[in-house]
A and B are shown apart, each in its own frame.
Chain A
Amino acid sequence: MSAAIETRDLTLRVNGETVGPLPVPVGTSLLDFLHEWLGLTGSRMGCGQGICHACTVMVEEEAGPREMRSCITGAHWFEGRSVRTVEGHAHTAPDGSLVLSPVQTAFIENFAFQCGYCTPGFVTGASVLVERLKRTPVRRDEVERVVTEALDPHICRCTGYVRYHQAVRDLVLATPGLTTA
């Protein structure tokens, strides 16, 4: 017995480039779409239930980016929207070398991760926070709390929380414009 799978065309922007229109079954998650259609395997399938946040991606909107869980959100929800995955945070310098984002650099400098499975989600969560603080800075004494709230939903099975937290806190405190006096 075979059931017809309803398929619709999907067009969206991923890491700054337009993708599609591509025929995609309606029930496909964004995570499967990234993995299977685009070969972008950086976003991780962890729990598949929207709990661990290893799958989160940035959704770029006028009011600033937001975090969304790609494992529980349908690919077609992103029709016409703009998504940034962990593959889209670094950029290439004129000399051809790869330049990591400030968040990625801070994670490396702080040895923030061990196995790295959760890292794409933490990069997303921390980057969304940094972008938010560029628009609405917070007092320096609020940084601890703000970083905790931003990273809190992300689960790290190697329990690297302290170093992730330290990396983001130090980055926020050291970056001009993210905090007020």
Chain B
Amino acid sequence: MPTLPRSLPAKRLGGALVASALVGAALVASGVLERSAVSREVEAPLTQEAMRALAPRGAKVAAAADCFACHTARGGAPYAGGLPLETPFGTIYATNITPSAEGIGGYSRADFHRALRDGIAPGGRHLYPAMPYTSYRGLSPDDVDALYAYMMSRPPVAVANRANTLTFPFDQRWTLAGWNILNLPAQVVTPDPKQSDLWNRGQYVADALGHCGECHTPRNALQAMRSDAALQGAVIEGVEAPDITPAGLRRMGFDPHSLTRFMAKGLSAQGGATHQMFDVVHYSTQHMDEADLTALSAYLFDRDALPAEPERPAAPAPVAVPQAVAMRASASYDGLCAGCHGHAGEGIPHVSVPLRSNALMRVSGASGLIRATLHGLPAQRFPDNERMEAMPGFATLLDDAALADLATWMRAQWGGQDKAVTPDEVARLRAGHRADASN
């Protein structure tokens, strides 16, 4: 779920949004209209037979595009909306996309194409970019048709959409016209003839269907994905969405094969998918064809093809920490962590993930490790009847200094990280915790 980082002052963004809207209004006034990616051909409705034939493939598109995760409230009816997306400017609620009167029952084929690829709903109402139409803009018309056929075949659910609670000027949808002119790509990405078919399919899967960048690409002051820093990592609802460039993936210990497996199963030596990435695996990638996951991996690693043999990136060299830190940290570890994660961080199959090869030790930021240690993680069910047990939170057992020492020591010995975690960073994550943000 893409959302707006909390760190950005609302005032600054509000000003930027208004400025961009004025620029947009000027452009509209000067005759440069918003550019649609949708061809006029989709004005012709699909026949009932075509809809029936397309629906099964549309189910695959829906899974790969992960519509379910955002458009289904916890415990709510499938695709009936209601999941809150909290931003510093208020809450946006995902909408009902079942074919009911409250949902998209009245959408024509062309309406559906324009909502997905232009971010404009019937009546000219602009969608918020929380709906990843900037990514979906790259979807092929065939896939959008298939998705339309599938969504229209879902049971209609009569659930009214909840009103967003955005503050001014963020509640002014017209301002998004300006935002779109500045941030919505005019040209749709086309296959790169210099790259392999696999790579090109992977680019489509990653950038359009899977919209990886919506979480993994940092955003600029206007909250648009920064094309100069694509997939280099960002912070989403207080959790680090890691760098998934080839260097970032290798840093975490992935190779093209293990990444494919991780996307299919949600678990690897690098640990388990947590927070929003758990939802991605749970609702989306585990249901994708292996060919698409292979393509995704090839693209993310920037390869023409997957290597014949797994490549095992070398484990980072341990970094020494001061003796006093190591003493305090190992006492905490032996007392509170080793019972489940093992004395050497090896983990227990089906119970707890390994720590010594865990990506949280290796990524640049320590927030993921600190958060998990402070607040715990829920039990998780993975494909193939695999599961990981709940991790308790240690917020009341470890103070800021003790947890900082523990995180510093674990990341130094297993992740080769020489930057010490500070008690201040722990204090910040302790205070900023919201129970509803954890998965």
List residues of chain A with CB under 8 Å of any chain B CB.
26-27, 29, 49-51, 66, 69, 71-74, 76-77
Contacts and interface: CB of A to CB of B under 8 A. Distances in A.
Given A27-B334, A49-B348, A66-B396, A73 B389 contact: no
Nearest to B335: A77
B339 A73 contact: yes
Nearest to A6: B334
Contacts of A27: 334, 338, 343
Given A50-B340, A50-B389, A51-B389, A73 B335 contact: yes
Contacts of B396: 66
Contacts of A77: 331, 334-336
Given A27-B343, A50-B339, A50-B340, A76 B392 contact: no
B340 A49 contact: yes
Contact of A76 (B331, B340, B348): B331
A26 B330 CA distance: 10
12 contacts: A26-B334, A27-B334, A49-B389, A50-B339, A50-B389, A72-B339, A73-B336, A74-B334, A76-B331, A76-B335, A77-B335, A77-B336
B335 A74 contact: yes
Interface residues of B, number: 15
A50 to B, nearest CB: 6
B351 interface: yes
- Interface secondary structure of A, over-half rule: loop
Nearest to B330: A26
A77 B337 CA distance: 11
A64 to B, nearest CB: 11
Contacts of A26: 334
Contacts of B336: 73-74, 77
B435 to A, nearest CB: 14
Interface of B: 331, 334-336, 338-340, 343, 348, 351-352, 389-390, 392, 396
Contacts of A51: 389-390
Nearest to B396: A66
Which one of B338, B389, B390, B396 has the highest number of Cβ atoms from chain A below 10 Å of its Cβ? B338
Contacts, number: 36
B340 to A, nearest CB: 5
B393 to A, nearest CB: 13
A27 to B, nearest CB: 6
Contacts of B338: 27, 74
Contact of A72 (B331, B340, B343): B340
Contacts of B339: 29, 50, 69, 71-74
A104 B321 CA distance: 49
B80 to A, nearest CB: 28
A34 to B, nearest CB: 14
A51 B352 CA distance: 12
B272 to A, nearest CB: 15
Nearest to A59: B397
Contacts of A74: 334-336, 338-339
Given A27-B338, A49-B340, A71-B339, 9 more contacts: A29-B339, A49-B352, A50-B389, A73-B335, A74-B336, A74-B338, A74-B339, A76-B331, A77-B334
Contacts of A69: 339
Contacts of B340: 49-50, 72
A50 B341 CA distance: 12
Nearest to B340: A72
A49 B335 contact: no
A72 B334 CA distance: 10
Nearest to A74: B335
A72 B342 CA distance: 10
Contacts of A50: 339-340, 389, 392
B408 to A, nearest CB: 19
Contact of B334 (A49, A66, A71, A76): A76
